[in-house]
Structure 1
Amino acid sequence: MHKRIRRHQVRLGMFVEELEGGTTAAGLRRGFLLSTELEVDRVRASNVISVLIDVQKGCDIAGRTRDAPPFGSAARSAITAAETRAVSRTIDQTKHLLAGVFTDARMGGTVALGQAEEAVEKIASAVEHNPIALIGISRLKKKDEYTFLHSIAVSGLMVHFGRWLKLDERAVQILGLSGLLHDIGKLLLPKGLLNKTERLDDQEIAQIRTHTRRGYDLLSANGDVDETVLDVCLHHHEHADGGGYPDRLRGDQLSMPVRIAAICDVYDAMTTLRPYKRAWTPAETVQMMFGSRGHFDRELLCEFVESLEPFLRLKPSSP
């Protein structure tokens, strides 16, 4: 469906079908997704009269009204060295806590919820002060610590997004715990399979896909794990169109936490350097996610992209 808007109304995640009128839209084209701040700025700075967007391929103009970004400010131009060191300390402390949780899960089949909740508190505090620094520092993950840092990054993204959606703090903490434990079932799979750099065959893919059920069973055996955490662990690979696994749920059958987790999980995975692939840029990842028709909740995906917009210009400062 097409909608005509004014150029100042464009935002990240919109699909521009056509730029109408004007003569100074240099460097702009037709039929593209606004996936970078530079592209948004070019449209706003041009003298085009109106912009035709396709709301089935990208975000609509409608969105939540906010007085200001909930954390930080788009006016900031750098992440300071002191902030970087502080976030590095938080990640080191969280990795230590998470190592205990994962070791207990792998060796004893139990989950140390107290340690996991303490880790989420540290992540939530760090995200409140500097979300992109926390996520960015965990971007280059070593092979032997990918599961740790992916879990931390997804937890941080879910906390950030939950606060952006103005959920109450208890719900935000549960989202953080869900992100931290969403892949815990992978601890029960052979390391050689998880670290394999060659293409997986059908049997290996099927084995990998058992991690959601394995994680759910492990957490369920604990007896006192929140239902939302269990739901996210089991269903974070479900798709909005029913094409995911393990239960091929779709649409309204998927809870909001599950739909949030699906977005945060894929965003972090795609922007992460792995032994078998380069890290995609945020812009490339956003384009891929919008192009994956039926995979994600479109409205939440638009909100997610908008939630990151105030921080996309932040760059590390000089030491």
Structure 2
Amino acid sequence: MRKKIPVGQLRVGMFIDEVSGSWLDNPFWKSAVLLTDPKELAQIRSSPIKEVWIDVGKGRDVDDEVIEDALPRQVDVVDGVEFTASAVAEEPELPQADSAAPPTVSLQDEVARAGRICAKARGAMKTMFQDVRMGKAIDTEHCLPLVDDITQSVQRNPGAIVSLARLKTSDDYTYMHSVAVCALMVALSRQLKLSAEDTREAGLAGLLHDLGKSAMPTEVLNKPGKLTDAEFTIMKGHPGAGHRLLQEGHGVGPIAMDVCLHHHEKVNGQGYPHGLKGDDISLFAKMGAVCDVYDAITSNRPYKAGWDPAESIRLMAQWGKDGHFDEAVLQSFIRSIGIYPTGSLVKLKSGRLGVVVEQGPQSLLAPVVKVFFSTKSNQRIPPELLDLGHPGASDQIASRESPAAWGFTGLDDLWMAHR
């Protein structure tokens, strides 16, 4: 039986089944946890969480009389029906309503919130990978609050969390890659107009798609140079290893399993592990292939620096023509993040260089750009924000540019800075 109590009444030995509040405020990455350490108890008592649901069938019960005397009773109204609910009560069967999509906000307004999600997600994924290495089974129910928070961030502004997740360090790659692919899968699902349920499953698939890497030898996984043929053969076993781990876990649906096993398949049949072709590859696995490659090539790795986002899109378009990706899925992906994704360095016809700050609502060719350098005078200029899609805009993008070729560093600070 579940009971709802304030955190002040928690004791070591109780089983927390669910927290009441934002997942971001939960000091534990799992939504359900058995309190075995006084430090854990202190953590949740000092957090913003005010109430939790405990399962007395899985842990210590509470003293009902003490709780009832200590807590005020309140009257709630649901669909016009009044009911009295103390903080200790069996969970009422309440009607479920569809939550409204969060309002769209600017990238700058979403960056701070997305940063908190990324920080929390990194810890969650690191713990998950460590748990798998220790032989613990995966329970995807613990992943869903993270998927939901990422989804809401994408709904508010897809550029924020997608771009922040790209800025992972090489040491964080294994964990943050999963977070980035989750966000990219959600953004692509929305572009494809998939249902809310399928979008959630696609996000979960992105979060779990590389779980098999936890079963790979760490000396191969973290090798700072190019893999030998033998090492690459080992790494090609990670989709199958991940699929087996998900089969042994709890609550894993067919979409996540499919993406985990087949995100390295290519429509031309030259992928792995099964060499599937064309329509033999599911839509979700095709989506996973595109999202996985984009984040991989734009991220810093132990053996190479990430490529510029716009150049990566150009290269992926070429690979799509060679049968690496499903072209329709790739085109939808490009529409979801832009021809010039946030963080891209571009040259304008005026001769100024700028960083793409946000996608324009009217055209993929006319994003919002922050210019900061004049190629005519070969020097920095005061940063200026230009909406190239504005009716009065007189400048246009002339070309993609390589930050490395210009010797620029710290460009991400420009698009992340507040206006």
1:44 alignment counterpart: none
Q: 2: CA distance between counterparts of 1:130 and 1:111?
A: 30
1:309 alignment counterpart: 338
Deviation at 1:72, TM superposition (A): 4.9
- Contact map agreement 2:111 2:160 (CA 8 A) in 1: yes
Q: Which structure carries more relative contact order (alpha carbon 8 Å, separation 6+)?
A: 1
Deviation at 1:99, TM superposition (A): 3.0
Cα deviation digits, residues 157-193 of structure 1 (max 9, x gap): 0001101111110000000000000000000112221
2:273 alignment counterpart: 246
% same residue: 38
2:323 alignment counterpart: 294
1:175 aligns with 2:202: yes
- Contact map agreement 1:155 1:176 (CA 8 A) in 2: yes
1:150 aligns with 2:250: no
1:23 alignment counterpart: none
Cα deviation digits, residues 197-255 of structure 1 (max 9, x gap): 22211100000000000000111112531011111000000000100000000101000
Deviation at 1:149, TM superposition (A): 0.6
1:94 aligns with 2:121: yes
1:1-150 superposed matches below 5 A: 72=104, 79-80=107-108, 82-150=109-177
Deviation at 1:95, TM superposition (A): 2.2
1:280 to 307, 325, 338: 307
Structure 1 window deviating more from structure 2 (271-280 vs 306-315): it is: 306-315
Flag the structure with larger Rg.
Answer: 2
Q: 2: CA distance between counterparts of 1:188 and 1:307?
A: 32
Structure with a larger share of its residues in helix: 1
Given residue 280 of structure 1, which amino acid in structure 2 is its aligned partner?
A: W
2:230 to 187, 200, 203: 203
Q: 2: CA distance between counterparts of 1:148 and 1:170?
A: 24
- Structure 2, unaligned runs of 5 or more: 1-101, 343-355, 359-414
Structure 1 window deviating more from structure 2 (244-253 vs 308-317): it is: 308-317
Deviation at 1:130, TM superposition (A): 2.1
Given residue 303 of structure 1, which amino acid in structure 2 is its aligned partner?
A: S
2:246 to 219, 226, 233: 219
Q: 2: CA distance between counterparts of 1:295 and 1:127?
A: 26
- Contact map agreement 1:158 1:175 (CA 8 A) in 2: yes
- Contact map agreement 1:71 1:130 (CA 8 A) in 2: no
Matched residue SS, 1:241: coil
Deviation at 1:300, TM superposition (A): 1.1
Deviation at 1:131, TM superposition (A): 1.5
Given residue 297 of structure 1, which amino acid in structure 2 is its aligned partner?
A: D
1:58 alignment counterpart: none
Q: 1: CA distance between counterparts of 2:168 and 2:124?
A: 18
Q: 1: CA distance between counterparts of 2:269 and 2:195?
A: 29
Residues 100 and 278 of structure 1, relative CA distance in 2, 3 Å threshold: closer
Deviation at 1:144, TM superposition (A): 2.8
Matched residue SS, 1:220: helix
Structure 1 window deviating more from structure 2 (184-193 vs 107-116): it is: 107-116
2:293 alignment counterpart: 266
2:387 alignment counterpart: none
Matched residue SS, 1:160: helix
Structure with a larger share of its residues in strand: 2
Matched residue SS, 1:138: helix
2:191 alignment counterpart: 164
* TM superposition score normalised by structure 1: 0.72
Residues 253 and 166 of structure 1, relative CA distance in 2, 3 Å threshold: same
Given residue 209 of structure 2, which amino acid in structure 1 is its aligned partner?
A: H
- Contact map agreement 2:141 2:251 (CA 8 A) in 1: no
Residues 163 and 71 of structure 1, relative CA distance in 2, 3 Å threshold: farther
- Structure 1, unaligned runs of 5 or more: 1-69
2:219 alignment counterpart: 192
* TM superposition score normalised by structure 2: 0.56
Residues 118 and 100 of structure 1, relative CA distance in 2, 3 Å threshold: farther
Residues 97 and 197 of structure 1, relative CA distance in 2, 3 Å threshold: closer
